[in-house]
Structure 1
Amino acid sequence: MGDIQEVASVQQLLDAADDPFLRYDIGPESATALPAWSCGTASAYLRRPPHRRGLSMNLQGPPDDAFPLIAALPDLLEYAGTTHPGLTGLTLDAHLAAAARSRLGSTYRVEVMGAWSWMSTHEPVAIETPWRLAELDDTSDAAELLAFYGTANPSAESEPGEGTSQYWLGVRDEGRLVAAGALHTTPAGAPHLTGIAVHPAYRRTGLGAAVTAALTNEAVRRAGVATLGVMTANAAAIALYRRLGYVVAHDWCSHTLTR
């Protein structure tokens, strides 16, 4: 495998490249990520994506370091799959995706699931808003939240009432919930913004920015960092997050694998 080295911990990957996704989504102490490999500042490791069963192999890094890992990808997947039969996904930095699909084409059926960006910030947000935000309860407000998401965004990763949200914020107008969002916790223990949605009749009023800013401030207050994921094609949302201080760490492309 050339310069590829199997590593015994995520901390070893972080020692080679202090990557925010590895630090705040996977976590230095994660056992789920093993087996894992490094090649220069590139790495390949296992991850259990939220809202999905099974495991995904992530592969990231600059092309020169990552291409040996891509060349070895069939062997890495075979090796990891012997002890992790639930390994059915592959997520790569987008600039590596085409090469990986080409390398695996004779062994796997590789289908693109979607392109998404992972962002983070360490800074609180200063924002003025006329909207009054209030904390919601995951249990007692679950029915109202479910009805709201059914209209505002049925595909939002919100999960009210399931105990996965540690903190909820919402905005009501004349008693009706018109915006909401939540904080989940990554496997590494970092706050992760999710389920940010605005009722269609209230869009372009600054509500999305207000909820995002307030959740960001709560996350930074709790842990010194806020993280989020967004579909890469959602240029308007990415532009908003950038204005609020977020930086893209990875533009990912996720796939399903069938032997």
Structure 2
Amino acid sequence: MEEITAAELLADPPTPYVRWELADDPVTRGWRYGDALVVEVARTHQGCHRHPGTTWVATGPAPSLSPLLEGLARVEAAPDRLSLEDVGITPPWPQEVLGRWTWMWSDRLPPPPAVPVVEVADDAAIDALLDAGNPTSWDRPGNRTAEAWLGVEQQGRLVAVGSITRRGSGVGHLQGVTVHPDLRGRGLGVAVSAALTTRAQASGPGVATLGVYTANTPAVRTYERLGYRAPHRFLSGPVRPATGS
């Protein structure tokens, strides 16, 4: 097991996830064993899926990842939260899995949208559509974190929408892609996602990223058709240290 400093991790990121997704986070250190990697992030705020406390992001194949985590459990305090690659292993601490999600990225230009997609500045219309089609979305106009909201309008009504947030690495991260429940299955989500991807890739390193619930198979397949790759599927949630640890 090799410990890696934050400077080493960020100077030569070993995986696309570290390179593109963790640039905004206070990475403190990491550990490597074989093809497995654990990165420690010391987050100090809550909201926008950034939880306070220490988070470990653990990736790699089971034969390397399981012994790496077991070794860390013997010499390090348990993290507050764990994002564990879904490779069929049990972590050395009880974990409450609150999210099963897939991280995806693309540097491939998608096909053009099949319907017109426009920039949307009507916060009330965006919120109304999110309330109808994606009420648990934390990505809202009021957060003022989005570079842009893009959407599809029909007969003067917003029927599909999504946003881009620009990460510290320069990549554009897709969020909040939503289609009105009455109009799903008509390609509107594909159109918005394609337009968002093109916009995300238009600046910075030319890379778009996103996270999607793993169980949302139609969405995962849609993003794969648009050129996205899915190197990581995570089980995320708080860790409950064993009594006496």
Would you say same fold, with TM above 0.5? yes
Query: Does residue 170 of structure 2 align to residue 189 of structure 1?
Result: yes
Query: Does residue 3 of structure 2 align to residue 19 of structure 1?
Result: no
Task: Determine the structure 1 residue equivalent to 2:112.
Answer: 127
Is there any run of 5+ residues in structure 1 with no aligned partner, and where?
82-86
Distance of 1:7 and 1:134 partners within structure 2:
45
Distance of 2:18 and 2:3 partners within structure 1:
16
Q: Which amino acid aligns with 2:85?
A: D
Taking structure 1 as reference, are residues 148 and 35 closer, same or farther at Cα in structure 2, changes over 3 Å only? same
Taking structure 1 as reference, are residues 73 and 187 closer, same or farther at Cα in structure 2, changes over 3 Å only? farther
Q: Which amino acid aligns with 1:125?
A: P
Task: Determine the structure 2 residue equivalent to 1:71.
Answer: 70
Query: Does residue 147 of structure 2 align to residue 151 of structure 1?
Result: no
Taking structure 1 as reference, are residues 53 and 31 closer, same or farther at Cα in structure 2, changes over 3 Å only? closer
Task: Determine the structure 2 residue equivalent to 1:56.
Answer: 55
Taking structure 1 as reference, are residues 76 and 121 closer, same or farther at Cα in structure 2, changes over 3 Å only? farther
* More helix by percentage: 1
Q: Which amino acid aligns with 1:19?
A: T
Aligned residue pair count? 235
Distance of 1:203 and 1:231 partners within structure 2:
17
Distance of 2:220 and 2:237 partners within structure 1:
22
List 4+ stretches of structure 1 deviating above 4 A: none
Task: Determine the structure 2 residue equivalent to 1:136.
Answer: 120
Task: Determine the structure 1 residue equivalent to 2:80.
Answer: 88
Distance of 1:121 and 1:66 partners within structure 2:
25
Mapping for residues 26-41 of structure 1, pairs under 5 Å: 26-27=22-23, 32-41=26-35
1:190-223 CA-to-partner distances (Å, cap 9, x unmatched) read: 2110100001121111100000000001111113
Question: 3-state DSSP class of the match of 1:72?
Answer: helix
Is there any run of 5+ residues in structure 2 with no aligned partner, and where?
none
Tell me, yes or no, if the aligned pair for 2:113 and 2:195 is still in contact at 8 Å. Answer: no
Tell me, yes or no, if the aligned pair for 2:39 and 2:58 is still in contact at 8 Å. Answer: yes
Task: Determine the structure 2 residue equivalent to 1:116.
Answer: 101
Distance of 1:10 and 1:250 partners within structure 2:
23
Question: 3-state DSSP class of the match of 1:91?
Answer: strand
Task: Determine the structure 2 residue equivalent to 1:84.
Answer: none
Question: 3-state DSSP class of the match of 1:34?
Answer: strand
C-alpha displacement at 1:127, in angstroms?
3.0
RMSD of Structure 2 on Structure 1 (CA): 2.2
